[in-house]
Amino acid sequence: MSSPLPSISRRSVLRLAGGIGAAALAAPVLAACGGSTGSGSSKSASLRFMFWGSDDRVKRFQKACTAFTDKNPSIKVSPEFGDIDAIETKLTVAMSGNNLPDVFWVTGDLLPQLVAGGHVMDLTPHLGAGKGIADAGFTDAIKAPGQIDGKQYAMTHGLQSIGLFAKKNILDEVGVPVKNYPDSYSWDEYAQISAKIHAAKGAKFFGTDDPNTGGAADWFGAYARQHDQDMWAASGDLGFTKDLMTEWLTYWKNLRDTKASVPAALALEQNPYFEGAPMIRGLAAYHMRNSNQMLELQGLTKDPLVLMPCPGNGGSGNKAIELSPNMLCVAAKTKNPDAALKFADYLLNDVDRAKIVGTTIGSPPTKAVRDAIASSVTDAEKQFLTYIGFEAEAKSLPVRNGLPTSGAFTSDMVKAWQNLGYDKASIPQTVDLIFGDLRTKLLKK
């Protein structure tokens, strides 16, 4: 039975936790890490599989789970799903209650914490033909985001990155060019264009949403990489300076002040992605999110969408391109390790699964599977595959993994950005908070 999760934010669950305790929140609806009459895939086994996404993605993965059981009748998979905030909250609480699902998606920020707590299986000995998960075609670059201290704890199941979406009819109406790789807008151009769109379309329409108030911290990460900095330093500290953060926040305050970007209060009336994205709600021309959402976003509007590079990532900025893959883990304490590995392999390598899911969670990780689905994808997906294909081949800077506490840091930084967007704090106060209390918590062992 599929189990939808409530759409709550991490802020909500933390408030709840303060009153009733994390242990109470962790009470399982299903048995912890599945149940079974045996530990191998040759015997009856049940698995919990947790993921996030819109209704379309949910339906596709439910169908994929059914197709897996059709191929493997002894293994039943129970999908659990919700929006990304609800899933991250659920996983965070499940860690404290030792109630993680058998197989689950994970964000890069949460992975170090999961590994540090011994919550996820070391997949290294299970990679290779006949070992559990076939890894032929997985390049070092694709494996790297799931590695910590030389061990493979997560595998990329969908290639994605940040991407700039736009309603092409609005751009055409206002006379704004579309930019495609290897080119992109500069950040100055983007501010000017967003202001131009607001002026042309009227007081209730804005050029762009704001990735800071929208919780998309990867956009600052891209800005940092464009300036030869990064989110994280090799030393285990922050990889960016106060001056750069101040510059970034000042840029976005100027866009808010000139009405070039959607005000925070209006943007956050709904979860600012998928159905709640300001672009989809008819409030803005541009939407700054993840490139793999092209198919789902196009399905939410009749207006034609285009996918463009992050401002500043064109030309010499190609070096700043960062693949931000969707990854999956297997719970260290799963009662059905063989079945869980078999299902993980299916999600990673099965062509039929890829045809069912399409590009809703990103490009398939291997060229062989990408080629196998190329003839069956929509025009929207072809845009995405062209986009991600350029990025996959770009000679970009290596990506640094976060720290065990980087997920909490990023969440707290986004809350600080949102307070700034609501004018509850100044830029200096926000920067001081990030480099003060938040950095102290990040570095605390």
pLDDT in tens, 293-314: 998 899 999 999 999 999 999 9
Asked if the domains at 3-160+325-393 and 162-322+405-443 fall in one CATH topology, the answer is yes
pLDDT at residue 78 is higher than 90: yes
pLDDT in tens, 98-120: 999 999 999 887 899 899 999 99
pLDDT at residue 21 is higher than 60: no
What pLDDT was estimated at residue 53? 86
pLDDT at residue 193 is higher than 90: yes
- Name the pLDDT band for 5 (thresholds 50, 70, 90): very low
Q: What is the mean pLDDT of residues 312-325?
A: 91
- Name the one residue in this structure whose structure tokens are 């285990």: 236
pLDDT at residue 291 is higher than 60: yes
* pLDDT mean across residues, the chain: 89
Lowest pLDDT segment from 149-163, 329-343, 345-359, 383-397: 383-397
What pLDDT was estimated at residue 17? 32
- Name the pLDDT band for 445 (thresholds 50, 70, 90): low
Q: Whole-prediction pTM value? A: 0.75
- Name the pLDDT band for 39 (thresholds 50, 70, 90): very low
Instruction: State yes or no: cis peptide before 182, omega within 30 of 0.
Output: yes
Domain ranges in the chain are: 3-160+325-393, 162-322+405-443
Lowest pLDDT segment from 29-38, 152-161, 195-204: 29-38
Q: 430 is written with which tokens?
A: 């926000």
Query: Among 3.20.20.70, 3.40.50.970, 3.40.50.300, 3.40.190.10, what is the CATH number of 3-160+325-393?
Result: 3.40.190.10
Q: What is the mean pLDDT of residues 334-340?
A: 98
What pLDDT was estimated at residue 254? 98
% of the chain surpassing 70 pLDDT: 90
pLDDT in tens, 276-290: 999 999 999 999 999
List C-alpha distances in Å: 396 to 160, 162, 322, 391, 402: 15, 14, 7, 8, 18
Lowest pLDDT segment from 27-31, 137-141, 314-318, 380-384: 27-31
- Name the pLDDT band for 32 (thresholds 50, 70, 90): very low
SS in 3 state form for the chain? CCEECCCCCHHHHHHHHHHHCHHHHCCCCCCCCCCECCCCCCCCEEEEEEEECCHHHHHHHHHHHHHHHHHCCCEEEEEEEECHHHHHHHHHHHHHHCCCCCEEEECCCCHHHHHHCCCECCCHHHECCCCCECCCCCCHHHHHHHEECCEECCEEEEECCEEEEEEHHHHHHHCCCCCCCCCCCCHHHHHHHHHHHHHHHCCCCEEECCCCCCCCCHHHHHHHHHCCCCCECCCCCECCCHHHHHHHHHHHHHHHHCCCECCHHHHCCCCCCHHHCCCCCCCEEEEEEEHHHHHHHHCCCCCCEEEECCCCCCHHHHHHCCCCCEEEEEECCCCCHHHHHHHHHHHHHCHHHHHHHCCCCCECCCHHHHHHHHHHCCHHHHHHHHHHHHHHHCCCCCCCCCCCCHHHHHHHHHHHHHHHHCCCCCHHHHHHHHHHHHHHHHHCC
pLDDT in tens, 247-272: 999 999 999 999 999 999 999 998 88
What pLDDT was estimated at residue 33? 52
CATH no. of 162-322+405-443: 3.40.190.10
More confident residue, 292 or 436: 436
Strand pairing category for 103-106 and 147-148: unpaired
What pLDDT was estimated at residue 417? 98
Distance CA 379, CA 373 (A): 13
